[in-house]
Chain A
Amino acid sequence: MTTTMDGVLSARGVCKSYGALEVLKDLDLDILPGKIYGLIGRNGAGKTTLLGVLTAQNTLDSGSVTLDGEPVWENQRALDKLCFSRELQASLFTGQNTLKVRHYLRSAAAFWPGWDQAYADRLLREFRLDPKKKICQLSKGQMSMVTILLALASRAPITILDEPAAGLDVVMRERFYQLLLEDYAETGRTFLVSTHIIEEAASVFEDVIILDEGKILESCPTEELIAQFHYISGHEDEVDRVCRGLQVLSTHQMGRHKTCAVRGEMVKLRDAEAADVDIAPMNLQKVFVALCGHGDEQP
């Protein structure tokens, strides 16, 4: 049973609603130790709720979340091993978020037993963050840097980042993934990272989890998933012939020219190679659009 394996974070039958809005629908997920997972999903798919539920920051209506087979809810042993670095907010219910960066980090240091202060100091310098500044005075990018710093320096065996790349410029985003890979090479701990900027992160994710309308659509090695998807294009008659028996996810027609996004093993595609059609691979972003576009995408 995977649920009793060491270091596995498991969700079973998780349901979560906000009022009448069902956000997570009978969801199962296993996060295995020592991997970098990417979590992708459209706006409102339930990503942040899922991450909150996995780390006992949100309640759930039914189902269970366990680490090493023990429920995570109000379980200090489990919570010591989990870090969900949430997006910072410039304003809170009470008004502006006037907490200073160094106080925010001091509470993090008190919370995680593995907190690495030297690492935190190094990242503060690298990100040129002023610890005396109030959170409400930071730019969006600087807020992202604080959440990244907290996640990395927590040294928690399972570290979760929600949209860490949002608000960062392209140089900082590349640097972030470098830092993530450096830390991973050193510690081999588990990372779970959600992002909307899919393509530049795809090569960093060993496994990808696609969340769609509150359900896990896919959870598998990134390259295995990508390898199943292709575009087939050419004369409509030829394309239709080749696509017979393949799962067609979307089609686009221009006169007699037709392009189909298909899912199928390469074996079946052997026929396509012999026909007069073009076969092109997809990247993760295209796979995501094909699976989760629900017809909203511009053809």
Chain B
Amino acid sequence: MRGSLSDQSLIYLQIASMLEDDILRGVYREEEQVPSTNELARAYNINPATAAKGINLLVADGVLYKRRGIGMFVAPGAGEKVMEKRRAAFYESYIRPLVRESRSLGLGGQALLDLVSRAVKEGENDL
């Protein structure tokens, strides 16, 4: 988990997204328990209701599930669900702003595509 919260987005969304990051990184594996709302509240000095809101968001998305009387656990296939969710948001949160910025810089569509292919190639070389 990241060390601290920013004021750039709502705290419960940050809590949800930090848990998702940690699921993708394998910090929490399938069928493993994630921190409780009180543990999250203590770790980040936030209201437990806010932490619970973040966790409930992931429950609604099928990423976490509740074992009554024990706590919250990572659902089977959670990693894939997080990826799917982020792929669905990728266009709105990355591609459209990218196109908008390139347009304001006077880069045409082809110039942008060329840059993207270059970045893709360089990424392949890095691997």
Contact = CB atoms under 8 A, between A and B. Distances in A.
B52 to A, nearest CB: 10
Given A36-B47, A181-B46, A203-B45, 12 more contacts: A174-B45, A178-B42, A181-B48, A185-B38, A185-B42, A203-B50, A204-B45, A205-B47, A222-B47, A223-B11, A223-B53, A281-B9
A181 B47 CA distance: 7
Contacts of A283: 7
B8 A281 contact: yes
B10 interface: yes
18 contacts: A36-B47, A177-B45, A178-B42, A181-B47, A181-B48, A185-B38, A203-B11, A203-B44, A203-B45, A203-B50, A204-B46, A204-B47, A205-B47, A206-B50, A222-B47, A223-B50, A226-B10, A283-B7
Indicate the member of B8, B45, B50 with the most A CB atoms within 10 Å. Answer: B45
A276 interface: yes
Nearest to A34: B49
Contacts of B9: 281
Nearest to A223: B10
Interface in A208-229: 222-223, 226-227
Contact of B5 (A177, A184, A203, A204): A203
Contacts of A206: 47, 49-50
Contacts of A223: 10-12, 50, 53
Interface string A54-93: 0000000000000000000000000000000000000000
B46 A203 contact: yes
B125 interface: no
B110 interface: no
A174 B42 CA distance: 11
A182 interface: yes
Interface residues of A, number: 21
Interface residues of B, number: 20
A237 interface: no
Given A181-B45, A203-B47, A276 B104 contact: yes
A36 B51 CA distance: 14
Interface in B2-33: 5, 7-12
A22 interface: no
Interface in A1-41: 35-36
A223 B49 CA distance: 11
A142 B1 CA distance: 35
Given A203-B50, A206-B47, A206-B50, A185 B41 contact: yes
A177 B49 CA distance: 15
A266 to B, nearest CB: 11
A199 B5 CA distance: 12
B7 A182 contact: no
A193 to B, nearest CB: 12
List the 7 closest pairs (A to B, CB-CB), nearest first: A283-B7, A203-B46, A185-B38, A206-B47, A206-B49, A223-B10, A177-B45
